[in-house]
Amino acid sequence: MTSASGGSSAPGRLRPLAAFTVDVEDWYQSCVDFDAPISERVVRNVDRILAVLDDFGVKGTFFVQGRVAESFPKLVRSLVEEGHEIQAHGYSHRPLYAMNRQELREELKRSHDTVEDAAAVPITAFRAQDFSITSDTLWALDVLAEVGFTVDSSIFPMRTRRYGIRGWPLGPHYVDAANGARLLEVPVAVWAHGRWRLPVGGGGYFRIAPAKFLERALSSVARHRPAVVYCHPYEFNATELQEYGDRIPAKLRLSQGLGRRSFVERVRHLLGVLEFGRFDWLLGEWGYA
């Protein structure tokens, strides 16, 4: 496959727009036991996100796991009715790099169809669970195109211990798939500061980085290319991990709980100083519609 860049100039706004995106999954099922049932915690936690977004009049994009859509289709439909964008976030939470081509195709097709059935709107964009398209599995982009996705936000544009590709383009760019289709790849926000690349797009990075640092970094990213941030419903519930007791190892509880009590405060700070909206609105402003 080959790639090419697209739009290159910032929109003429007083404040650049950034995309607020949510990977909708249930923590225990996504982090501990892939086969565990989806619990109502995910619904309650999405409600927590909506309360924060409503306070700031922000509409976002919810990348919904297929099993969540199957378990709680009314949740998905209500998000559409409230003006939020719905896209796909895998069917299970198994990493894509652990699948062969046939398994991956089945995963992506089920992801697309279950979310589209629940939302009753066309699903065109995808984000892989745990950013699990890596340099060894770039062929997964061809399978995404085969299934019918036209936009992807799965590749973390720097190498970390668990995921990411070193040197991957920081901004959106088109990838030519094997079937002749063109896929728009849109990375989440990573700040290029000198020779360093710093992860500032959300998740655990929002839990541990100071709010003022995130504000500065995301403002810089948004002036130069589409800035996409992401979070998870469970990050809006500071006490959820305590509910599992001894069912989860102490080390996992510590790593996943680090900074969670200040997470909502950091998000609220960013919503107050930066302008956020839906993923599709952001791409439209930069000429990628």
pLDDT, averaged across the chain: 92
Give me the pLDDT at residue 256, please: 86
Q: What is the percent of the chain where pLDDT is above 70?
A: 95
Burial class (CB in 10 A: 0-12, 13-18, 19+), 227: buried
Answer whether residue 79 shows pLDDT above 60: yes
For residues 99-115, give the mean pLDDT.
Answer: 97
Instruction: Read off the pLDDT of each residue in 105-128 and give the average, rounded to a whole number.
Output: 98
List alpha helices for the chain, DSSP H. 27-31, 41-56, 66-71, 73-81, 101-119, 140-147, 204-208, 211-224, 250-257, 263-273, 279-285
Phi and psi dihedrals of 202, rounded to 5?
A: 140, -160
Rounded Cα–Cα distance for residues 85 and 125 (Å): 10
Q: Hey, what domains does the chain have and what are their CATH numbers?
A: 2-285 (3.20.20.370)
Task: Give tens-digit pLDDT for 9-63.
Answer: 556 666 779 999 999 999 999 989 999 999 999 999 999 999 999 999 999 999 9
Q: Which residue has the tokens 């439909």?
A: 77
Q: Which pLDDT band holds residue 111 (cuts at 50, 70, 90)?
A: very high
> Which conformational region is residue 180 in: left (phi greater than 0), alpha (psi within -120 to 50 degrees), or beta?
left
Question: Tell me: the pLDDT tens digits for 156-203?
Answer: 999 988 899 999 999 999 999 988 899 999 999 999 988 899 999 998
